[in-house]
Amino acid sequence: MIEVSNLEVCVAGKGKTLLSGLNLTLAAGQIMAVLGPNGRGKTTLLRTLLGLLPAGAGTVRLGGHAAYVPQQGESMFPYPVLSMVAMGRARHLRWWQSPGRADMNVAAGCLEAVGLGELAQRSFHELSGGQKQLVHIARAMASASPIIVLDEPMAALDLRNQDLVLGILARLAREQQLCIVFSTHSPQHALHVSDQTLLLYPEGCEAGSTRLMCEAERLGRVYQMPVALGQAQDASGSLVQGVIPLFQGVGA
């Protein structure tokens, strides 16, 4: 569970306030998406929630250990992919211990879950940007943390792998009752899997149910451009809602 009360988020070392008066509660088994334009403070907010940056005011309560997936994390050393994922087991080990067979089995299972099982012995440095992102997600899964926070996890992924990651997040929340927070530039991601959505407007913020937050007027305020909503049939024939940005640059 995550409880945020009157949180003020500031730019580290500059005293500039990005957000103030933020209140929200996310229960186990729920997913929250964070939507906002470039430079609005999504990464700073996530790092403040995790305690990696100090809050200007207010409180954050986390109901357990939180795993963090940053944007495009790198490694200084050419570790095998499986070893990178097994690092997620560190919180279950004493400081002098190395991952054992059981830990490596957990890591291998998480790597299979993100579709990269065949790359287990490949050097991490040899992977594409999208593959590296999937490895970091697998490492967070291997930590078996009750909370996972992901900073734009779909940014380097093609459409198929975006769908894969969204499906994984939905299953983790539903089957393992994890509390998941992720930032994204795509309102469609929020509509697809999120129970709640936090909108970062140019002049403030607002959180609530995804169906309420992801409506045309609110999304237009977030991105400072017109947005429309439409419906289409998914593979099962069910109607799903989609977000259509109404780009205006050509001929403006």
Parts of the chain with a pLDDT under 50? none
Residue 14: predicted pLDDT? 67
Residue 76: predicted pLDDT? 67
Residue 184: predicted pLDDT? 95
Residue 5: predicted pLDDT? 95
Q: Tens of pLDDT along 105-144? A: 999 999 999 999 999 999 999 998 889 989 999 999 999 9
- Domains of the chain plus CATH, in order, are 1-64+146-214 (3.40.50.300), 79-144 (no CATH)
Phi (first) and psi of residue 234, to 5 degrees: -85, -175
Residues in the chain: 252
Residue 73: predicted pLDDT? 66
Query: In 3D, which of 43, 49, 90 has the Cα closest to residue 70?
Result: 43
Q: How far apart are CA 181 and CA 234, in angstroms?
A: 25
Task: Give the distance, in angstroms, between the CA of residue 97 and the centroid of all CA atoms in the same chain.
Answer: 30
Residue 79: predicted pLDDT? 87
Residue 250: predicted pLDDT? 64
